[in-house]
Structure 1
Amino acid sequence: MEFIDYYEVLGVEPTADSKAIKTAYRKLGRKYHPDVSKLPDAAENFKRVAQAYEVLHSTEKRAEYDALCEARKRGYNNQNRKSSTNYHTNNSAMGNQDFTDFFNSVFGAAGSRSRQQHRQQPWYEDANQAKGADVEFDWPVMLEDTLADTTKQIEFVIPVYDQQGYQQQVKKSLKVKIPAGARDGERIRLKGQGAPAYGNAPSGDAYLTIKLLPHPLFDVEANNLLLTLPLAPWEAALGTKVEVPTLSGKVQLTIPAYSQAGQRLRVKGKGLVGKLSNGDLIATIKIVMPSSLNENSKTLWAQLADSETFDPRREWSDR
């Protein structure tokens, strides 16, 4: 398959940090999600955006992808120094194959453009099958859509043979119920919705595999949602109340006085829907300093430093 520039897909520079990548993904993900977008090729664009984020938000996957990009760049530099057409063609093919190997290692062999899989037997062999070919495909689902049963208009492609035995790809559209609490990798069987069989044999089945999309704000840990909660130093010291996002809206969270960086605060029942009980939202405190201070603020910080006897490194003195 052709090389895909995931930085270009998200519209960020190769030097972009994780925050910029999340911001770009969130913006484009909402723009192209097939549930809400009316844009042409929205589903295909959304899939590219989701794939780009899955690669670039992971430190390990991004490092591997960057190494692949660097090797590809070196290959192009070599091509500029060589005029052989065969060299150019072979080098490009090798680069695309390297990307194909990387792509399959991340998304699996089913991660091709159509995301469809079916048997490749000739049509006359299919005539002896008990039923038509099964079809498998992934479908992207937002975390928000797992909170309750939802019905989605699903489109996928099935292989159909004409009377001459030539295969055609036919688009099929169905309304499918996605159950509450659906998890990544969960398969839904759509009986009889696969490829038609030759003659009077029954059609195959279609298998939809849930692909939970990475969320720009939350990480998933079992049924719990993990959220990084930025606090100003004075909010952590004095305590406060802040609004925090959940999958179903904002809730108010009380921050106790003297809160520490890394401290985890729990909001019961605001995680993912579970079979026995809902998970929780777990907010981990991150102390964030302002990027700049005015003169009045500097004076107040200096007064605090002069009046406070607290030493965060006191335990070092015992060593």
Structure 2
Amino acid sequence: MKYKDYYEILGVPRTATEAEIKGAYRKLARKYHPDVSKESDAEARFKEIGEAYQVLKEPDKRAAYDNMGTQWQGGQDFQPPPNWDAGFEFNGRGGNAGDFSDFFESMFGAQAGGARGRSRRPMHAQGEDHHAKVMIDLEDAYRGASRNVTLRMPMTDASGRVTTQERTLSVNIPKGVREGQHLRLSGQGSPGVGQGQPGDLYLEIAFRPHRLFRVDERDVYVDVPLAPWEAALGATVDVPTPDGSVQLTIPPNTSAGRKLRLKGKGLPSNPAGDLYVVVGIALPPADTPEAREAYAAMQQAFHFNPRAGF
């Protein structure tokens, strides 16, 4: 997937005001409109210009796009950083808003819709819903928690430049919440028009990277190293889980890479997920004469060739 520099496409600096962006778009849209342009790539350029304007005209999308930084250039291979949009509050419910590139869809697919293009607002209408991605700790999903969440709501200031305003909300995280699940905060979206009710805020849950655990739906994985004699002879070892350590029986002759299941120790649910222990073998260092003698004795005792099957 290729990175798109939307500022370069419209020919404006990153400091451009809302009026400057609109002016540049209108000029280029007239130049490359397929009905009037003689350029061979007019249709493709017209779509590209429209896509750039779709992002840069809206404060929430523009602020999130800018947040990724300036280290990429147009046409470079690109993958959005994981959870690049966490903490940004977007307007609208989302939906299919046009024929956009893979680059656009990878970042804004869920935010591409919303109510736009109305010539006038009704006297009474419900406010727009907002949505944002928030990062939580895996342990919070195991136990449930109450956390303060700070969101950045982009907006346009009086000079037409994008700024962000923060707000902090107290959020109850239910036990067993999964990544990708949405929590609804009633009345925390845009204010209603007239006597209309305010919209809601939908928080999409994502887990912060954990130094020990990996999550797949309801199941959790943890790598556990064993000493060679524990793997060969069997042992009982303490294994960490997000809800505290448990004892696990290691069967004799356990090989590296084997998965041992702890039923029901994954994410709480109905039914609960499982926790999988992925076995590794940790070798003691041969850093003393005694240790080297021990390894030499093993070599003589086993006559073992790990590459015999090659």
**TM-score normalised by structure 1 residue count:** 0.57
Structure 1 equivalent of residue 296 of structure 2: 302
Count of matched residue pairs: 219
- The amino acid across from 2:133 in the alignment is D
Give secondary structure in 2 for the equivalent of 1:193.
coil
CA separation of 1:198 and 1:228: change in aligned 2, threshold 3 A: same
Q: Which moved more, 1:132-141 or 1:173-182?
A: 173-182
Matched-pair contact (CA < 8 Å) for 2:89–2:154:
no
Q: 1:272 aligns with which of 255, 262, 267?
A: 267
Q: Say whether the 8 Å CA contact 1:237–1:259 is kept in structure 2.
A: yes
CA distance in 2, matches of 1:112, 1:315: 48
In structure 2, the partner of 1:249 is 244
Q: State the distance in 2 between where 1:223 and 1:179 align.
A: 14
Residues 1-319 of structure 1 aligned to structure 2 (within 5 Å):
95-96=71-72, 98=74, 102=78, 105-106=80-81, 111-112=84-85, 115-118=88-91, 125-126=120-121, 128=123, 130-156=125-151, 171-274=166-269, 276-315=270-309
Look at both structures and tell me which one has the larger radius of gyration over its CA atoms: 2
Q: Alignment partner of 1:278: what SS?
A: coil
What is the aligned partner in structure 2 of residue 78 from structure 1? Answer: none
RMSD value, Cα: 3.8
CA gap 1:312/1:170 in 2 versus in 1, 3 angstroms: closer
Percent of pairs with identical residues: 34
> Do the aligned partners of residues 265 and 250 (structure 1) sit closer, same or farther apart at CA in structure 2, a change above 3 Å counting?
same
Q: Distance in 2 between matches of 1:171 and 1:125?
A: 29
8 Å CA contact 1:126–1:197 kept in 2: the answer is: no
Give the Cα separation in 2 of the matches to 1:113 and 1:217. 22
User: Partners in 1 of 2:70 and 2:169 — Cα distance?
Assistant: 39
Structure 2 stretches lacking a partner, 5+ long: 1-68, 93-114
TM-score (norm 2): 0.58
The Cα shift of 1:295 comes to: 0.8
- List per-residue Cα deviations over 1:238-273 (Å, max 9, x = no partner): 322222211011122222332211222222222111
Alpha-carbon distance in 2 for matches of 1:197, 1:168 = 23
Instruction: State how far apart, in whole Å, the 2-side matches of 1:95 and 1:159 are.
Output: 22
Counterpart Cα distance in 1 of 2:70 and 2:297: 64
Contact persistence 1:232–1:289 (CA under 8 A): yes
Shift of 1:107: 5.1
Instruction: Write out per-residue CA displacement over residues 98-152 of structure 1, whole angstroms, 9 at most, x where no aligned residue.
Output: 599946x3458xx458512126969994455612222111111111111133222
CA contact (8 A) 2:239 2:246 kept: yes
**Structure 1 gap segments, 5+ residues each:** 1-92
Q: Secondary structure at the match of 1:242?
A: strand
Q: How far did residue 177 of structure 1 move?
A: 2.2
2:76, 2:121 → 1: CA distance? Answer: 30
